[in-house]
């Protein structure tokens, strides 16, 4: 299951992902201030994660939002509209915007501006 999730994550996440990797990740993110990584849960268990990468320098008023969902939830069509429901607007396609596992991948770009 993690392989299908991993293809959409940054390369910083190791593969294979061990229990020790998970413990180290949790140790780091629980110490962050402000908190920028959170679990996504249903009534029973954690089913994913959502986090912000805060911009720095000239990008200090921005943040990159990233999230992943466990495989049983990725085919849920409602999850595909998650960003739009949260007020984000589709702003374009970045062709070949990421390189993962030997392939160039397109990225869908969404933005939300709070004036």
Q: Are 103 and 61 within one domain?
A: no
Residues 6+ apart with CB under 8 A from 19: none
* Cβ atoms of 68 and 51 closer than 8 Å: no
Residue 48: Cβ-neighbour burial (10 angstroms; 0-12, 13-18, 19+):
middle
In tens, the pLDDT along 51-79 reads 999 999 999 999 998 888 887 777 655 65
Q: Are 87 and 111 within one domain?
A: yes
In tens, the pLDDT along 86-99 reads 898 889 889 999 89
* Cβ atoms of 107 and 93 closer than 8 Å: yes
* Domain count of the fold of the chain: 2
Q: Are 6 and 19 within one domain?
A: yes
Of all residues in the chain, what percent carry a pLDDT higher than 90?
Answer: 33
Q: Are 15 and 70 within one domain?
A: yes
Q: What is the pLDDT of residue 77?
A: 58
Q: Which domain holds residue 100?
A: 83-115
């Amino acid at each position: 299951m993690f392989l299908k999730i991993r293809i959409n994550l940054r390369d910083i996440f190791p593969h294979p992902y061990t229990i020790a990797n998970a413990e180290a990740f949790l140790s780091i993110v629980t110490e962050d201030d402000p908190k920028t990584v959170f679990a996504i849960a249903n009534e029973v268990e954690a089913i994913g994660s959502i986090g912000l990468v805060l911009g720095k320098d000239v990008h200090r008023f921005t943040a990159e939002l990233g999230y992943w969902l466990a495989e049983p939830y990725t085919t849920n069509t409602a999850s595909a509209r998650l960003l739009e429901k949260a007020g984000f607007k589709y702003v374009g396609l970045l062709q070949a915007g990421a390189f993962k596992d030997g392939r160039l991948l397109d990225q869908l770009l969404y933005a939300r501006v709070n004036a």
